[in-house]
Amino acid sequence: MRLQALQQTVDDWIHQHGVRYFSETTNMLLLTEEVGELARLISRVYGEQSFKRKEDEIIAQESIKEEMADILFVLTCLANQMDIDLEKAMQQNIEKKTKRDNQRHKENPKLTNQ
């Protein structure tokens, strides 16, 4: 799905199933909450923390996928509310990074000496 299609799908969902978009402030807080939930899972799957319950460990990868989708949904809501074309913004961001970091990472000894 292209980002423009994603933005339209989210907007359609909001208007069909929701009453309206939450405020930008509420959505920012929800985004922060979702990122925290993803961070909690990653710290247990890839970090040094452990799960309290074996059942949570069994479904961890599925939970990570769900949290990433939740983050993308709320981020898309914010973009829609702020009239931001995510596809155009990402294209501009990739161009910026390409220009700025064209050789930077290849020349970084911290990355190439492994």
pLDDT tens by residue, 6-54: 999 999 999 999 999 999 999 999 999 999 999 999 999 999 999 999 9
**Residue 68: both structure tokens together:** 């990433």
**What is the structure's pLDDT at 114?**
61
Query: What is the pLDDT averaged over residues 58-73?
Result: 98
- The token pair that represents 97 in the structure block: 């990074």
Q: What is the pTM of this model?
A: 0.89
31 token code pair: 């985004």
Alpha-carbon 60 to chain mean position: 17
CA distances from 55 to 33, 52, 85 (A): 22, 9, 40
| Residue spans per domain, the chain | 3-83, 85-114
User: CATH number for the 3-83 domain, one of 1.10.150.20, 1.10.287.1080, 1.20.120.1630, 1.10.10.10?
Assistant: 1.10.287.1080
List Cα–Cα distances, 25 to 12, 28, 30, 36, in angstroms.
Answer: 21, 5, 9, 17
Mean pLDDT of all residues in the chain? 95
Residue 62, pLDDT score:
97
